[in-house]
Amino acid sequence: MKTQIQNLLNIGRAALPRRRTTGRSSLPAFIAAALLLSTLNPQLSTCFAQGSLTPPGAPAPTMLTLSQIEPRTPISTAPFIITQPGSYYLTTNLVLTTDATAIWISTNNVTLDLMGFTISTRVSRGSGAGILLNGDIRDITIFNGHITGGNYPYLGYGITCIASSPINVHVFNISVSECSIDGIVLGSDNSTIVSDCTVHDVGRVGIAAAIVSRSSAYQCGDSGIAAINATDCIGYGDTTTGISAETANNCYGFCSGTSFDSDGIVVNSAQNCYGISWYGDGIKTVVANNCYGYTQSGGYGIFARTVNNCYGECQAEFNGIGIFAELANNSYGFSVSLGGYGLYGTVAIGCYGEDYSTESGYSPGIGLYEYIANSCYSDSPGQGPGGSIPYKWNMP
């Protein structure tokens, strides 16, 4: 440092103009050199320590824990019993090798994510379940995966709640197939929900919950879908009903049973629905709006108290009815049944009834059979355009 200062002083002296001196030191030259020194190296005035170098404490961890990265409990083997509230997820496919239940949920406040994996079995005609809700538990969510009994072996149930009534249960994005008993059955509580699920090939009930939406159930031994409210659903039942509910909106129900009680859709209110039955009623309801009902071998295309903007058709050989309703508005009833009726009821307004049974030797059908009809039209080979109407107005 001393050498550096001396060099800078020499540079400063060399920069000053030479003049004759009397042997004394030149004060202006010294001042100029000092100014030049401070300009060229301002750091020379800050040569003192900047603070303590002692660490304030031990180093803190900087990495996240496993529970912070994935704050859920993994499930990789079955059977597995959930006894603590929390979030759980599958890490692989689960395969049952004994007649048992894969996952038991025995506590409240549980979320189970199947992560797209499958729960299956190698047990022929097993009676266990893919997921069992054990007891009157509440606040359960199950989603995103598959449950199947395989091509030949079977589970007893997909998701069920034997002898219990769970509360606030939501099942969504789940597919269930090849179960010897039920697909997804969540009990009778009004807060159970099934959405965006599919069930295929089960021995009894496909889907049963308070609210069922955007879901389908095919090849169900008893009924396809049972709900309080069904929206945007498809239900196929083999013996009882395709869809049974209090209200149905934008639904399709089909039943292939051979009983006259085997109905396509059975509800209190049907809106924009399509019901088909081979032997029973296509749609059986109190009120039908914008609906289509069809029966192949008996019963009624639509059986209701009030129908609005509906179409009912019956292809039964004898005594079938396209639409049976106390009040029909702007609706069309069609039948080809001997002794049958296109539209049968008490009051019809703006309706059209047809019956095209023509086989000789049998009583012909009647297009429109109403006590009061206004602005209606009836067509049948046996009765002619007038049908059977004691009081009619504005009719051709």
Q: Which of 54-63, 105-114, 251-260 has the lowest mean pLDDT?
A: 54-63
Tell me which H or E stretch contains 33.
helix 27-40
Is 51 contained in some domain? no
Does residue 184 surpass a pLDDT of 80?
yes
**How many domains are there within the chain?**
1
Is 364 contained in some domain? no
Does residue 44 surpass a pLDDT of 60?
no
Residue 186's nearest CA partner among 255, 131, 268, 112 is 131
Residue 313's nearest CA partner among 298, 301, 296, 324 is 301
- Is the distance from CB of 110 to CB of 135 less than 8 angstroms? no
Does residue 48 surpass a pLDDT of 80?
no
Report the predicted TM-score, pTM, of the whole model to 2 decimal places.
Answer: 0.81
Is 249 contained in some domain? no
Model confidence pLDDT, tens digit, residues 251-305 = 999 999 888 889 999 999 999 999 999 989 999 999 999 999 999 887 899 999 9
Is 255 contained in some domain? no
**Section 40-68 average pLDDT:** 62
**Section 37-53 average pLDDT:** 55
Residue 152: band (very low, low, confident or very high) from pLDDT cuts 50, 70, 90 = low
**Section 71-92 average pLDDT:** 96
Is 62 contained in some domain? no
Is 301 contained in some domain? no
CA distances from 360 to 136, 313, 381, 383 (A): 63, 22, 11, 14
Mean pLDDT for the chain overall = 85
pLDDT more than 70, % of the chain:
79
According to DSSP, the residues that pair with 263 across neighbouring strands are 241
Tell me which H or E stretch contains 156.
strand 155-160
* Position with higher pLDDT, 391 vs 342: 342
Please report the pLDDT score of residue 384 as a whole number.
47
Is 389 contained in some domain? no
Six-digit token string for 349: 């307004």
Is 325 contained in some domain? no
Domain holding 153, by residue range, is: 71-238
- Is the distance from CB of 249 to CB of 227 less than 8 angstroms? no
* Position with higher pLDDT, 40 vs 308: 308
